[in-house]
Structure 1
Amino acid sequence: MGAHHHPRGGIQRRGPGSHRQPGPARARRRLHEGWGPFLRRRIITVASGKGGVGKTTFAINFALALSRVAPTILVDLDTGTSSVRSTLDVEVGKDLYHFFRRGASLRECLTHLDLKMDPHGQYKNFSFVAAPRHVIEEISSMSENARWRLMAAINELPATFIVLDLRAGLDDHVIDFLPLSNSGILIFTPQHPAATLAAADIVRSLLFRKLRVVFSEHSPLFDSADGKRQHRLVNELLDQVEDVYVEQLPNLDAFLLDLEQALGDNQYVNPIRKVIHGFGVYFVLNMFNGIEQSWETAVRPFISQLHQGVSTRLNITNLGWIVQDTEIHKANCRRRPILLDQGEKQLERQGNAVMDELERLEASLIGLPAAADFQPERGPEAHDSLANLGGVDPFTAQLEVLNRMYTSRGATRVRDNFAYITHRVLHLVRDLPAEVFGQPRLLPPSAMVHHVFRKESSPGRPGRV
């Protein structure tokens, strides 16, 4: 859906013969040694509209899975609950309290797994920054300056992947850490319909934030005298469409149409079109318990809310699901996340289960955007599954992805679910521009305008704002 496709069809490969399914040894060598040049630094947020959807459980296990491929740091920004340290039975030396109150660097606040938690060193590339043990108002309600200071420190952390576990809900403590051009990973569950709709509200807020940046008074779009007048018009229309009580402009599609009628197809309209049509929405279904219920109570309402209140032209990607399993909760109660919670016999039998799954799914790209040698359409010879979804109704496309994923992976274990999602994320990071998924660096508002328009004017890049 809204994918960028290779002009010759199929996924762009890295060399002769790489289309073949790799043997175990060759695949493991490529994952351990060959991913490096392709896995550039990425900050990945994990957010949810409301609590109670398993966001932190997902963030911890997702970061653990990523660490099997490259150094990964999990940062607990849900500072009111300290959920990460409550789920990991590891002694924490320094945490965000020491960063804000005792002058410690964020790097000094890293905690690694000990031998008790990781006796075989499978997760040696994982570390985390814990929230304070108890609620500290100054930290749980960070000032703007405190957030920018923390952002700068996160940008300097020594890792390929940085996973940010954000607090549930939608406020400045969440929005400021989210990417400009995509949603990061949104978590919702069939058991919590209100959280599904709240996740759609996060997408809406992110898009309006970016549009406000693109059309701020400091935007180079409005440097001319005529531009000042257009600035007022554009922002008045933005005010109307952002106001949910104004029925004349129900979503950004109507806003864009109104603007095109008022201004024509000009320099002010094109950036809006690029912002809306280029925005990526990525979600994971947690506590998945079957196609029908998940579709009716989670995916369909989520897409409906986005279409009605945001746009029908968003790029929506289902990254996968985590099956409903009581063992996940039991593992958390033992303070030993499900990816770490396995007996010695199981370790001997399945020692590299996560890595083996990543290797085996090398060619599994169901529902993912294709490599960005962008041609909007492809011929009938294309075999990538997403290419066949481009011309169908978005609801049908998402349901087809859900069915295909369930057919291929539906009966697997929770560990395999995380491996599957991680593999899909690795393809996004490797094959697409950095702004398509996650973000290379966190940006304070003062840098956003420059960042947006620097990318727009960079030679040899697609016109993604």
Structure 2
Amino acid sequence: MENVKKIIAVASGKGGVGKSTTAVNLALALQQQGKQVGLLDADIYGPSVALMMGVAEGTKPEVINEKQMQPIMAHGIQTMSIAYLITDKTPMVWRGPMASGALQQLLTQTNWQGLDYLVVDMPPGTGDIQLTLAQHAQISGAVIVTTPQDVALLDAKKGIEMFQKVNVPILGVVENMAVHICSQCGHEEHIFGDAGGKALAQQYGVELLGQLPLSLQVRTQMDAGQPQALQNEVGIAEAYQQMAVKVIAGLDSAEDALPEITLS
């Protein structure tokens, strides 16, 4: 971990809101800003980073001196996931302490190399995995992902409150599935509600990092291992670039805000 400068947790209160999609695209967008980036899949029960990053099934990390694992390179990003150690059909029927122990090993026994940022794709909720990461790693900031609907916002608030309790700065809120644009006629429809993520950001006084549409293209490209941030186009890819710029600025501001400690 001495080779990791800053850790960014990408979290949500509930599943299915596009947290992993955000983590993967944010990591790639940070890399395109000239940073050295790693991506850790902390979702022990439902890992998805390997698929989204286009890593072939059956890829295993190289073991160094029987103590450390070499991260798997994908699109120029150093990645690590429990998916590299099991098969796609292996269920992780583990209690919380076992999952927490697995995360701790993935975090500390991976041979991360010269990282400016380690992006951690967190599992949904506010349980053992989140507490383990907060206890064993110095998280520089958290990105909260939600959809505009009230049920998702309710759980996102719990995620924000959890990070505040462990003194982790909230870098901002990402509102996924903010609007659906019909591919046939161009009609815009707010299927999951309108501007819920924006209201959440205002309520807690944090940055609205981006509002991403509900898009078939995003789904197909993520399933194919070709994330949207890799596409040279205006629109969603540009939104992730802007998100990366805001996250970097937020991390710099959080670092500047730390109190100066003097001994007398």
Report TM bin, short chain.
0.7 to 0.9
Q: 1:419 to 1:208 in 2, by over 3 A?
A: closer
The reply on whether 1:77 has 2:70 as its aligned counterpart is no
Partner Cα distance (1:194, 1:112) in 2: 36
Q: State the shift of 1:42 in Å.
A: 1.3
Partner Cα distance (2:218, 2:141) in 1: 26
The reply on whether 1:105 has 2:74 as its aligned counterpart is no
In 1, are the aligned partners of 2:42 and 2:103 still within 8 Å (CA)? no
Q: 1:85 to 1:149 in 2, by over 3 A?
A: closer
The reply on whether 1:184 has 2:149 as its aligned counterpart is no
Partner Cα distance (1:155, 1:170) in 2: 27
Partner Cα distance (2:222, 2:112) in 1: 30
Alignment partner, residue 399 of structure 1: none
Partner Cα distance (1:339, 1:457) in 2: 37
Partner Cα distance (1:175, 1:422) in 2: 25
Partner Cα distance (2:95, 2:61) in 1: 11
Could you say which structure has the higher strand fraction? 2
CA deviation map 1:309-367 (0-9, x unaligned)? xxxxx542112222332210111232322233x5xxxxxxx5xx6xxxxxxxxxxxxxx
Aligned length: 241
1:106-145 matched pairs, under 5 angstroms: 106=69, 108=70, 110-113=71-74, 123-124=75-76, 126-132=77-83, 133=87, 134-138=90-94, 142=98
TM-score, normalised to structure 1's length?
0.45
The counterpart of 2:124, out of the listed 161, 168, 187, is: 168
Alignment partner, residue 425 of structure 1: 247
State percent identity of aligned pairs: 21
Matched residue type, 2:146: F
Q: 1:285 to 1:44 in 2, by over 3 A?
A: same
RMSD over aligned CA atoms reads 3.6
Matched residue type, 1:167: P
Structure 2: stretches of 5+ with no match in the other structure: 180-187
Alignment partner, residue 165 of structure 2: 208
Matched residue type, 1:78: D
The counterpart of 2:156, out of the listed 187, 191, 199, is: 199
In 2, are the aligned partners of 1:187 and 1:199 still within 8 Å (CA)? yes
CA deviation map 1:343-395 (0-9, x unaligned)? xxxxxxx5xx6xxxxxxxxxxxxxxxxxxxxxxxxxxxxxxxxxxxxxxxxxx
Q: State the shift of 1:90 in Å.
A: 2.1
Partner Cα distance (1:77, 1:422) in 2: 20
Matched residue type, 1:49: G
Alignment partner, residue 7 of structure 1: none
Partner Cα distance (2:247, 2:38) in 1: 16
Alignment partner, residue 219 of structure 2: 329
Q: 1:458 to 1:154 in 2, by over 3 A?
A: farther
1:247-266 matched pairs, under 5 angstroms: none
Alignment partner, residue 415 of structure 1: 237
Alignment partner, residue 16 of structure 2: 52
Query: If you compute each CA radius of gyration, which structure gives the higher value, 1 or 2?
Result: 1
1:2-401 matched pairs, under 5 angstroms: 41-68=5-32, 69-91=34-56, 93-94=59-60, 103-106=66-69, 108=70, 110-113=71-74, 123-124=75-76, 126-132=77-83, 133=87, 134-138=90-94, 142=98, 146-153=102-109, 157-178=113-134, 184-190=142-148, 192-210=149-167, 280=170, 282-289=172-179, 293-295=193-195, 297-300=196-199, 302=200, 314-340=204-230, 342=231
Q: 1:140 to 1:111 in 2, by over 3 A?
A: farther
In 2, are the aligned partners of 1:95 and 1:131 still within 8 Å (CA)? no
SS at the partner of 2:50?
helix
Structure 1: stretches of 5+ with no match in the other structure: 1-39, 114-122, 211-274, 308-313, 343-349, 354-411, 437-454, 461-465
In 1, are the aligned partners of 2:80 and 2:110 still within 8 Å (CA)? no
Partner Cα distance (1:174, 1:41) in 2: 20
Partner Cα distance (1:145, 1:52) in 2: 25
Alignment partner, residue 406 of structure 1: none
Partner Cα distance (1:143, 1:56) in 2: 18
TM-score, normalised to structure 2's length?
0.75
Q: 1:180 to 1:112 in 2, by over 3 A?
A: closer
Q: State the shift of 1:156 in Å.
A: 5.4
Q: State the shift of 1:76 in Å.
A: 0.6
SS at the partner of 1:283?
strand
Partner Cα distance (1:154, 1:418) in 2: 27
Q: 1:140 to 1:58 in 2, by over 3 A?
A: farther
SS at the partner of 2:152?
helix
Q: 1:163 to 1:183 in 2, by over 3 A?
A: closer
